[in-house]
Structures are given as structure tokens and as C-alpha cells.
Amino acid sequence: MTSKPKFLLLSAFTLLTASSAIADVTLPAIINSQMVLQHGTKAPIWGWADAGEKVSVSFAGQTKDTTAAADGKWMVTLEPLKVSAEPQVMKIKGNNTLTLDDILVGEVWLASGQSNMEFSIGAIVKEEQEIVSAEKNNKLLRMFCVSPKVQSALPLEDTAGYWSDCSYFIKRMEEGKIKGYDSHSAVGFFFGLKLQQELNVPVAVIDTSWGGTQIERWIADEGYEMEGIPFRKVSSKEEASAIEARDQLMQKIATWRAAAEVAIENDEMVTPNLEVPKANASNAIHNGMVAPLVPYAVKGTVWYQGEGNKGSEDYFEKLKALIGGWSKEFGVPNMPFYLVQVAPYNYAHAKAPDLSPQIIYDSVVSAQYKAAKEIEGCDVINIPDTVFGDVKNVHPTHKKTAGDRLAAMALKHDYGKDVVFTGPRFKKAVLEGNQVKVSFEHIDEGLETSDGEAPNWFEIAGADQVFVIAQAKIEGEQVLVSSPDVKAPQYIRMAWNNIAEQNLRDKNGWPAFSFNEEVSR
């Protein structure tokens, strides 16, 4: 029997516009039946009520009391919870009593980014969809899907989104009702599934992603301010119109939530996307799709974005702002933040023939590598082996590899599991005679190539920095690289190209990371 998510309540804003006072306690979409609460940390529960109204929240043997503030807002914080795979009930009492059911306690992660994170389980290859279908009765994996295309010049207090478990959204996938970008991130799903299977605890993935977006749109005010990066906010002259636009948007969101409730009760697909007008703020998507989730307790974030920032000269600074801002607003110091290195793709296609063959590496990938080294809690996976030669498609249809590798990274860094979490990474390159000896770290079972041929995508250059294709061969746990055209190599790179599908890997199947380095003498 399909387990249906329940939309018990509309936003406080709806009730405000319907009467002169908030007669009942109401909740944001993220606080609802079928949610998963993060264990081991304090868990905020919040909503709205009459000003001065007494509100109590009871869950898992705890009861927390508070009083709604003058603006009607209230919040309580549950003490750290123990993992529980048994569905529990939460009661919230004010002038009315709300009952939220089927609540679990486990691990909660954000999954965000642009189209390759948004890319849904409804669009992946058949063999991966079959893996998804096998989890139809998995009650311990849940998703909260935020409708894409919600943006606002001012932060919203609620957004269009809903909770569901596998029995609901996998059925929709099998019916063909989840299209390519209808939420239900495939990378997010496989990431959550791997964690749930390995940890044997409930896992929730909060999917908030939007294709074609740049990183700037996702950064919190706090992040911009931390890094001293200028950004456009609502000016005093624009404030009145921005408030009016926000209120109209909140009404639209409330209508969407009401329609979603009807769809779910009828066992139908929720309208996936909510189209709203553009908003005049640098971080309008954060305001519409992240701010309303704060301060829900989460463990960390997986982030798949970068295509929209190819050529950016300050992507590293923007990554610092993104990670720092989200860490602060969600109250997770040094938030685990795992990046996906974008897959090989020919950006220099017919519409942009003059783009550099290294444009994504010189801007985004190099910044991701720097972030993994310098930002505490941050790391990166690579997925050059997921495109299978199709470098004309910016959206690889195989997503399980990315999800599994992100999960392995979390299992290693955050849960102390003894698992492989990375492929070989560059350590040093030393000149010996006229050849370069390249060493790697994080070698697990030894080096090999995926096709049995010599390692590819190696290039070297002399002092003129004119790179030429080089010959490479594996020698133990090192690679020897040379070219008759470069007598005194000073620079070396491997797979530093938009379309590079390098064949060098660990014998366990994890690909080596690209690099662009100087040669030591």
C-alpha cells in the first residue's frame, strides 16, 4: 500500500490574509508528517500562531513549550534525539492540536546545485531505474523535494515542497510521471540510498536544485558578507514593492501546497515546478529555495554545480561564501560539503567554438580542488567514467556512480567507515633525465588503465608552457611521462581538458584525478 505524505497545514501567511488574526498553529512545509529528524543534535521545530499564544511540542518523550512572538512566529528546540526507525508521532498544541505521524530519526542531508543534481530518477538509464524500483518498499529512505524555480528578492518563510517515501515517488517514476527535471534528484537518491544501506538508519535527502543556475544565486547573505563579496540586495526604495511581491508569492506557494495535498490524497503526481517571476537580488534562489528550510537540522550538503560558472575567475571565493553561509545559517560549523567535479563535456560546441578546451578546469575544477584542500569539511569526487564517450551531452544519464561516490566520501569523513572514498590524487612530479616521474596519493590496490592501453591525456611543456601530448606508462605506483618534443619538461598535466575521459585509475575502479602542476627538479 502506498504511504502518502500528508500536507496538514498551509503557511501562516495564508491565514493572515484570510482573517485579522492567526487562529491556529501552522507549520512550514518542511515540518510535516513523514519527515526525518537529524539525530545527535538539537532539532528546531517552528511555525506560526497568534501573538502571545502558548505552543507546546511533544515528541519522543520530550515536551517543549514556548510562546508565539508579536509577529506570530514561534520555535522550540528538541534535545538531541536517538536514531529511530520506528515511526513516531509529534503533537503540536496551541489553540488547536496538530498531529504529525510517521516521523523517523536518522541522517538528513541537503542535495543542491544545477541541472545535473536536479536530473531526476525519471530520466536515468533503464538499468539504474531498475535499482530504484527495487527500493519501492524501503520505508527508511525519504525525500523532501523543493519545487524548482522559486526565487524571491526577500527571504521566504515557506516554500513549495513536500515529504514522501520510496513507495510514493518510485511509483510515480514507474508511471512515467517524473520527467527529467521534476525534482527527485537521481544523484540525491543514490547518495541517500547508499548511506541508508551502509548505516542501516533512516536517511532523508532534501532536494533543492535548479538547472542552469550559477553559484551566486545560492549564496546566503551571511556568506557574501563573510567573504566581503558585493551582492545586490533590495534597496530602501524597492522594499515596499519587494514585500508586496513576496506576499503574492507566499499566496502562490500556499495555493501550490493545497493542490499538492489534493494530488497526493488522490495518489497522483504533484505538479513539480512552480513558475514565479524573476527577482531582483543576487541570491534570489537562496531566498526562495534554501532560506525557508532554515534552521532545519541537517548533517551536511552534497553539491553538483559548476557548468553555469565556466570561465569564472572567482569560483573559489564563491564556494567559500556558499559553504560558510550555509554552515552559519543551518548552525553546522564546518558543514560537510561534498562537491562533484563536472563530467566531461564539449563546451566549445558550434554555438561557442572559441571557448578554451580547458575552460571548465581553469575556472571551476581548479577552484573545487583548492576548496577540497583549504576549506574544512569540504571534499570533491570526480566522475570522468560516467559519460561513456558522449561528451556532447552535458547531462550524463548514469547517476548512480556520482551518488555512490558522494556517499563513500560521507561514510569515510563523517561516519568513520573504512571505505575507499577517492581515486588516486596527484602527489608530485619529479624530473629524471628527460622524463617525468609522477607519484600519487590515495592509491588503494594499485594503478591500471580502464582499457588496458597506455595512460592517456598526459601532456608536458617546457619553459614556453606550450603543451604537447606525451607518452606515459605505469611503473608500479608511479607513471613515467615523456615526449621527444620536450627535452626539459617544466610543466605537466593530465586530463586537464573539458572532454577528457582519462583511463588511469586505481585497480578498484576509482579514476585518478586530473592535475595541472609544475615539475620538480
Q: Which amino acid is at 431?
A: L
CA 336/CA 334 separation, integer angstroms: 6
Residue entry with cell 555512490? 404
Residues 6+ apart with CB under 8 A from 72: 12, 16, 22, 48, 49, 50, 51
Is the pLDDT assigned to residue 2 strictly greater than 60? no
Q: Is 11 or 45 the better-scoring residue by pLDDT?
A: 45
Contact 184, 147 (CB under 8 A): no
Q: Any idea of the CA torsion for 210, 148, 283, 26, to the nearest 10 degrees?
A: -150
pLDDT value for 4: 55
Query: What radius of gyration, in Å, describes the C-alpha atoms of the chain?
Result: 24
Is the pLDDT assigned to residue 501 strictly greater than 50? yes
pLDDT value for 353: 82
Structure confidence at residue 13 as a pLDDT band (50, 70, 90):
very low
Domain 105-413 has CATH 3.40.50.1110: yes
Is the pLDDT assigned to residue 10 strictly greater than 70? no
Q: Residue 373's closest CA among 426, 312, 310?
A: 426
CA 417/CA 421 separation, integer angstroms: 10
pLDDT in tens, 335-382: 999 999 999 999 987 678 889 999 999 999 999 999 999 999 999 999
Contact 146, 181 (CB under 8 A): no
Is the pLDDT assigned to residue 7 strictly greater than 60? no
Count Cβ atoms within 10 A of the Cβ of residue 353 and give its class: 0-12 exposed, 13-18 middle, 19 or more buried: exposed
Cell representation of residue 93: 498544541
* pTM attached to this predicted model: 0.96
Question: What is the average pLDDT across 183-196?
Answer: 98
Q: Which amino acid is at 84?
A: S
Of 102-106, 114-118, 235-239, 420-424, which gets the smallest average pLDDT? 235-239
Question: What is the average pLDDT across 430-443?
Answer: 97
Delimit the domains of the chain by residue range: 12-104, 105-413, 425-518
pLDDT value for 352: 80
What would be the CATH architecture of the domain defined by 12-104? Sandwich (2.60)
Contact 77, 52 (CB under 8 A): no
Residue entry with cell 552534497? 302
Structure confidence at residue 14 as a pLDDT band (50, 70, 90):
very low
pLDDT in tens, 50-98: 999 999 999 999 999 999 999 999 999 999 999 999 999 999 999 999 9
Is the pLDDT assigned to residue 211 strictly greater than 70? yes
Average of per-residue pLDDT values in the chain? 95
